[in-house]
């Protein structure tokens, strides 16, 4: 049995945090699936690198330009094609796990992160356009995103809530998830077929907190707060999914919204390369990793449930952080704002690169 499958036996699925046309057409995704990969996520930054930094999409772009499509429509066609191919390749996992895994995530336009109505509209559009059961629509966990999450889940659409950095935000996200399931159930929907994950970002927390710790001359807590923050989120998850409110839905066959650890590659070269993997293994969770992190885990990752370990230590570390005058809520609020901006910048960069390619193709045609 592969290492990724052994990890799944501990309750944690590995999803790939990457997508590209080459990955889909070279047979590499099939190899990963056969080695135990259980899903994939994408975001505007990933698509920006995939489309603008290669020629793999140029033939498709030429065909779409000839149809007179706008740059935004060309991007959507390219993204939907990739997501569709990936979903078809992972459909086997979806069937084998009875709908637990095998999902491919695509994000709504990040420029809509603060627009509830348009987020709902595009989420429904993307899900309908892809027309596959193993698709998840990514919606950011902003204040404006929360009602969209409830509405979209209430319409029978699988949702991956992204850009969650704080335990406070996580509570709100789970509330939105449960409300969405209740809404779908009230309309006669089959909540047994519903799936959702809450993407809780990890490494970026250390990147931000470490700067504050360094300024205060404290090295003891460096590289520890991101894991502590995540462990508390997991504790909250276990608490909520023991509630009477949840038990009513579970009795009808509803699945928990799993915590998905995002941003799990180690950014600081001084830290262990699997710091945000080995420490966050536990039941009902997903870890979405870039290719190199998956390779590293297969090579030397530890197969041991660790999420329920060190909870008291995590609380102590967060308490010490507060005593130092470092406000983690202020930091995570900024990380959310920065995360939305980063994805928005990537999206605009992608459209700019596509515009240049379209311009070049039109010039070639006119010659």
Which residues are the active-site residues? 138
Instruction: Provide the 3-class DSSP secondary structure of residue 115.
Output: coil
Neighbours of 305 (CB within 10 A): 13
Q: Which helix (H) or strand (E) holds 17?
A: strand 12-17
Q: Which two tokens stand for residue 121?
A: 């509209």
Strand partners, 258: 197
Nearest to 140 by CA among 341, 340, 348: 340
Q: Which long-range contacts (CB under 8 A, 24 or more apart) does 151-155 make?
A: 151/120, 151/180, 151/183, 152/120, 152/123, 152/124, 152/180, 153/177, 153/180, 153/181, 153/183, 153/184, 153/194, 153/196, 154/179, 154/180, 154/181, 154/183, 154/184, 154/187, 155/124, 155/184
**CA gyration radius for the chain?**
20
**Beta strands 135-140 and 39-41: pairing type?**
unpaired
Rounded to an integer, what distance in angstroms lies between the CA atom of residue 84 and that of residue 24?
10
DSSP 268: S
Rounded to an integer, what distance in angstroms lies between the CA atom of residue 223 and that of residue 267?
10
Nearest to 145 by CA among 157, 162, 158: 162
């Amino acid at each position: 049995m592969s290492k990724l499958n052994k990890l799944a036996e501990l309750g944690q699925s590995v999803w790939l945090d990457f997508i590209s046309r080459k990955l889909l057409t070279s047979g590499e995704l099939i190899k990963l699936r056969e080695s135990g990969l259980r899903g994939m996520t994408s975001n505007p930054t990933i698509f920006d690198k995939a489309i603008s930094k290669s020629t793999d999409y140029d033939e498709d772009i030429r065909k779409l330009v000839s149809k007179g499509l706008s740059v935004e429509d060309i991007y959507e066609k390219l993204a939907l094609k990739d997501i569709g191919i990936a979903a078809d390749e992972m459909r086997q996992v979806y069937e084998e796990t009875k709908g637990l895994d095998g999902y491919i995530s695509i994000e709504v336009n990040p420029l809509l992160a603060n627009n509830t109505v348009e987020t709902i509209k595009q989420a429904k559009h993307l899900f309908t356009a892809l027309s596959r059961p193993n698709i998840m629509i990514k919606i950011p966990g902003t204040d404006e995103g929360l009602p969209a999450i409830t509405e979209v889940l209430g319409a029978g659409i699988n949702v991956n809530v992204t850009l969650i950095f704080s335990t406070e935000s996580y509570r709100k996200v789970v509330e939105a998830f449960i409300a969405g399931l209740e809404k779908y159930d009230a309309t006669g929907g089959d909540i047994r077929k519903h799936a959702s994950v809450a993407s809780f970002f990890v490494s970026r927390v250390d990147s931000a907190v470490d700067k504050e710790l360094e300024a205060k001359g404290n090295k003891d807590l460096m590289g520890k707060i991101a894991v502590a923050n995540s462990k508390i989120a997991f504790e909250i998850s276990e608490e909520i999914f023991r509630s009477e409110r949840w038990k009513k839905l579970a009795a009808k066959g509803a699945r928990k919204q799993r915590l998905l650890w995002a941003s799990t590659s180690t950014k600081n070269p001084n830290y262990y390369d699997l710091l945000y993997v080995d420490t966050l293994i536990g039941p009902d969770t997903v870890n979405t990793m870039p290719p190199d992190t998956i390779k590293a885990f297969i090579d030397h990752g530890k197969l041991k449930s660790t999420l329920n370990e060190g909870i008291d230590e995590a609380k102590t570390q967060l308490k010490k952080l507060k005593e130092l005058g470092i406000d983690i809520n202020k930091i995570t609020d900024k990380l959310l704002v920065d995360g939305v901006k980063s994805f928005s910048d990537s999206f605009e960069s992608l459209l700019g690169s596509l515009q240049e390619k379209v311009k070049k193709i039109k010039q070639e045609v006119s010659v």
